[in-house]
Amino acid sequence: MKFKIVPAILIGIILSIVSSKIAYFGFNSSIMANVFTQESFRNGFGNDIYRYRILSSSLLLALDNTLSTIIDENGEKEPVLKHAKGSTNHFYYAFYYLNTFFLILVSVIIVLLLNLKNAFLVSDGEKYILLFIAIMSINYTQFIICPYDISSYFFQLLTLYIFLRFMNEEFLLTTFAVASLILISTLNRESSALSIAITTILALQKWGFKRRMFFFSGLSALAFTIAYVGIRFILKDSGHTKVLNPLAGHPFLPENIMGVIFWGVFFLLPIMTSNNKKNKWLIGSYHLLSLPYIYMCLKDGALWEIRLYIPLFLGSLFLAKINTDNTNKFPAFT
């Protein structure tokens, strides 16, 4: 059946709502990094690297303030809240609403991306399956609840969309739009660097090692650096508190091995579904340019938190299907 934009957006939005409800109220997270209150959130996420992720944290706290006047605390509580004593219903709902909202935005961008003319070589049937797999995979990883993951996927895919949609028509404006999005999304999560990786791959494919490509990627990198360094300069941590996670940095602990396997099978899906060899090259190069992120995940991350692989997976899923026929200047192919 044809992949039409309005029905597809409608299906994507409903799917996001349903799967979020399942992740938050059908399942409950088994791993509670935080008790669900503003104070404990500030204790955990107000320190270490987390304190620089201001965008979604501010949204979450503002949403919680609003919900605290609306949601009945005497109503039925989720088991996870009963277990973590002192947790409030409204804070859990704040997470739920915020992440569902961004998941809806993600699904809309996925539909817009798949609907782009000539950008991807993908059948209508595959488009529906890609939409469903992307949304469900995101919610599979939500047993680690934090406010900035899903919003970071939104920014990542939006950047990709803007590049693919407008770069042919308006070089300068699109370059500045991408740079500004990278600046904003760095205030949300540093994984915005992955947007530089993926757009650089596409720029290389478009222009090869030409002045335009260097200008585009240079400006994106500059925007990232300004936001990354700037926020560390402004938000000084007097206590230098480090948040320790016993699983972090040990990829071969029994718990983390499942995470490593997850990375493996979700790396293989884009590879197996890619249109041709060139697409596989693009996926490989994307992972190569994302090495700093991957290195940080291995060094400081708990790999059982499989959410860490999702931004790489989403990018690869689209690279697997990108149209490599036209204007192909990618160095490996010439």
Partner 1 sequence: MKFRLIPALVIGITLSIVTSEIVYFGYTPKYGPIIFSRNAFESMFDHDVFKYRLLSQHLLFGLDDWLVEHIFSSKNRKPVLNPNKNNHFYVALYYLNTFSLCLTTIIVVLLLRLKRAFILTDSERYLFLYLTILIINFSQFVVSPYDVSSYFFQLLIFYLFLSFSDKDFYFTIGCISALIFISTLNRESSALSISLASILLYKKLGISQKTILSTLILLAFFAVTYVGLRYIVVDPQSVHFTYKDAGNLLANINIIGLLFWAIFFCLSLGISGSTENRKAIFVYHLLSLPYIIVCFRNGVLWEVRLYVPLLLSSLFISKLNPAVYKFNLDNLLKINPFTKNFKETFQKKSIINQPK
Q: Where do contacts with partner 1 occur on this chain (CB under 8 A)?
A: 1, 3, 7, 11, 14-15, 17-19, 21-23, 25-32, 78-80, 83, 123-126, 128-130, 132-133, 136-137, 139-141, 143-144, 254-255, 258, 261-262, 264-265, 268-269, 271-275, 304, 306
Q: Closer to partner 1 at the Cβ: 32 or 54?
A: 32
Q: Which of 276, 255, 278 is nearest to 205 (CA)?
A: 278
Contacts of 17 (CB under 8 A, 6+ apart): 100, 104
From CA 218, how far away is CA 181, in angstroms rounded?
14
* Bridge partners of residue 322, in order along the sequence: 120
From CA 163, how far away is CA 330, in angstroms rounded?
16
Interior CA angle at 53 toward 48 and 58, to 5°? 120
Q: Closer to partner 1 at the Cβ: 141 or 186?
A: 141
Q: Closer to partner 1 at the Cβ: 73 or 76?
A: 76
CB of 263 to partner 1, least distance (A): 10
CB of 333 to partner 1, least distance (A): 18
CA 245 to each of CA 220, 260, 292, 311: distance values in angstroms, whole numbers, following the listed order? 32, 17, 20, 21
CB of 100 to partner 1, least distance (A): 12
CB of 246 to partner 1, least distance (A): 12
CB of 118 to partner 1, least distance (A): 19
- Cα dihedral across residues 130, 178, 309, 328: positive or negative: positive
CB of 127 to partner 1, least distance (A): 8
From CA 201, how far away is CA 222, in angstroms rounded?
17
From CA 276, how far away is CA 233, in angstroms rounded?
45
CA 164 to each of CA 46, 83, 202: distance values in angstroms, whole numbers, following the listed order? 36, 46, 9
Name the one residue in this structure whose structure tokens are 């990618």.
330
CB of 262 to partner 1, least distance (A): 5
User: What DSSP character marks residue 242?
Assistant: -
Q: Closer to partner 1 at the Cβ: 65 or 123?
A: 123
From CA 324, how far away is CA 255, in angstroms rounded?
39
CB of 17 to partner 1, least distance (A): 7
Q: Closer to partner 1 at the Cβ: 133 or 177?
A: 133
Whether residue 161 contacts residue 314, with contact meaning beta carbons closer than 8 Å, is answered with no
- Strands (E) located in 154-283: none
CB of 229 to partner 1, least distance (A): 35
Whether residue 318 contacts residue 127, with contact meaning beta carbons closer than 8 Å, is answered with no
